[in-house]
Amino acid sequence: MTKINAKITGIGAFVPEYVLTNHELAQMMDTTDEWIMTRIGIRERRILKGEGLGTSDMGAKAVENLLQKTNTKPEEVDLLICTTVTPDMQFPATANIISDKVGITNAFSFDINAGCSGFLFGMATAAKFVQSGQYKKVVLVGADKMSSIVDYTDRSVSPIFGDGAGAVLFEPTTEDLGVIDEMLHTDGMGRKHLHQKAGGSVKPASHETIDAREHFIYQEGQAVFKHAVKGMADVSVEMMQKHNLTTENLAWLIPHQANMRIIEATANRMGLEKEKVMINIERFGNTTDGTLPLLLWEWESKLKKGDNLIFATFGAGFTWGAMYMKWAY
Ligand code: UT7
């Protein structure tokens, strides 16, 4: 039987208009543009403003952009997966809400939460559905309104995150293209370094949790940083070695964008020059599930059929991993 591979056939995205600069942050808290640029590498990030707007609104815009670019009718979609850490609400799934907003009526849909590795884990999942032969058009959307869980009095967290969304379409192919391999990891012990203290079943929202500011991101930056450098670099190098990828035949590294220093450490371990690394952290910050598709969206015109790509991520969980993909168009 002919092997069915899963390839990406289009990219859509959405970023909100409002630009939150380091200078504006420096007026809100004790920080400077210089500190943020040197220690993180972010100059500005986008913020979704507007009463009643959430993750699904950005996700829906990204999916609409994708459907329009790929000439896909909403009713042709078989499955929509949304990866997010900032769902519109605890339930139902944001994927269901996005499907409703864009008129995707013949699909089932569900969410994945894998921290900043969400889109990577989502790509692996979407690909499996396509490779099974049962699903022909799978939309994967990564979207996060990080500003809804950032404490803008906490200078160690607030410069890092921004809002945004991106979406890709996975379709079957019998060519030797698309997702070739993935290496995915989790270590739940890492939760102590990066989590949201309240709002879940262990500690539901109460006056006390609000007074204690426990509905925001809690992060022990240095511990996360160390694990992120090791996790992302190790798995990317392992992927290169397993598939005989070299600095010559690898076209692009597509890394999660949490800190410029983590991206550089990963590229250095791979021996890769910066020209082969997709980087948008300076303009968008860490958009969590939006990051990987936003990179693809911006670099789409530079990608060539057959390009060898490595995606690499690290995030809350801990979760980390890499994917090897051959670009299909
Ligand atoms: O995507 C999810 C995964 N998350 C990550 O990958 C994040 C990983 N961690 C990091 O990127 C970095 O640890 C941070 C950017 C969060 C922090 O950078 P750092 O170089 O590890 O700084 P630090 O926490 O060691 O703090 C160094 C100093 C401290 O001052 P003292 O104690 O030395 O006087 C902080 O209070 O920098 C201070 N500081 C700041 N100063 C100015 C912390 N944040 C700021 C700030 N502006 N925004």
Q: DSSP for 258-302?
A: S-HHHHHHHHHHHT--GGGB---HHHH-B-GGGHHHHHHHHHGGG
pLDDT digits (tens, 9 = 90+) for 72-108: 999 999 999 999 999 999 999 999 999 999 999 999 9
* Burial of 178: CB neighbours in 10 Å, binned 0-12, 13-18, 19+: buried
The model's pTM: 0.97
Q: Do residues 248 and 270 lie in contact, with contact meaning Cβ atoms separated by under 8 Å?
A: no
Beta bridge partners of 317: none
Question: Domain check: are 25 and 146 in the same one?
Answer: yes
Residue 160 and residue 264 in one domain: no
**DSSP track, 19-34:** EEEHHHHHHHSS--HH
Statement to judge: residues 202 and 241 lie in one domain: yes
Residue 151 sits in the same domain as residue 193: no
Task: Examine the fold and report which residue of 144, 176, 208 is the final residue of a domain before the chain moves on.
Answer: 176
In the structure, what pLDDT confidence band is assigned to residue 299 with cuts at 50, 70 and 90? very high
Q: Domain of 24: which CATH number?
A: 3.40.47.10
Q: Is residue 128 located within the same domain as residue 216?
A: no
Q: Tell me: do 227 and 284 sit in the same domain.
A: yes
Both tokens of 121, joined, read 């884990």
Q: Are 198 and 205 in contact (CB under 8 A)?
A: yes
* Residue closest by Cα to atom 36 of ligand 1: 156
Average pLDDT score over the chain: 97
196 and 151 within one domain: no
**Mean pLDDT, residues 166-181 taken together:** 98
What total of structural domains would you count in the chain?
2
CA of 81 to the centre of ligand 1 (A): 33
Q: Tell me the Ramachandran region of residue 271: left when phi exceeds 0, alpha when psi lies from -120 to 50, beta otherwise.
A: left
Same domain, 114 and 195: no
- Cα of 35 to ligand 1 centre, how many Å? 9
| High-pLDDT (> 90) share of the chain, % | 99
pLDDT tens by residue, 45-64: 999 999 999 999 999 999 99
**Looking at the structure, do residues 39 and 153 belong to the same domain, yes or no?**
yes
User: Quick one: which H or E segment has residue 5?
Assistant: strand 5-14
**106 classed as catalytic:** no
Same domain flag for 49 and 157: yes
- Do both 151 and 285 map to the same domain? no
Residue list, ligand 1 pocket, CB within 6 Å? 31, 35-36, 39-40, 116, 155-156, 159, 221-222, 224-225, 228, 258-259, 262, 286, 315
Dist. CA 9–CA 59, nearest whole Å: 18
User: Is 260 in contact with 283 (CB distance < 8 Å)?
Assistant: no
Going from the Cα of 209 to the center of ligand 1, the distance in angstroms, rounded, reads 25
State residue 174's pLDDT score. Answer: 97
Which of 160, 176, 192 marks a domain boundary? Answer: 176
Q: Give the domain range for residue 195.
A: 180-326
Summarised one tens digit per residue, pLDDT across range 121-140 is: 999 999 999 999 999 999 99
Predicted local confidence at residue 140, as pLDDT: 98
Atom of ligand 1 nearest to the CA of 224: 8
- Please tell me the predicted confidence (pLDDT) of residue 2: 86
306-316 pLDDT, tens digit per residue, is: 999 999 999 99
| 143-159 per-position pLDDT tens digit | 999 999 999 999 999 99
Mean of the pLDDT values across residues 289-301? Answer: 98
User: Is residue 268 within 8 Å of residue 128, measured between CB atoms?
Assistant: no
* Mutational pocket test of ligand 1: of 22, 39, 45, the residue with most ligand atoms within 8 Å of the beta carbon: 39
Last residue of a domain, one of 129, 145, 176: 176
pLDDT in tens, 245-263: 999 999 999 999 999 999 9
The number of CA neighbours under 13 Å toward the Cβ of 314 is 22
Same domain? For 46 and 184 the reply is no
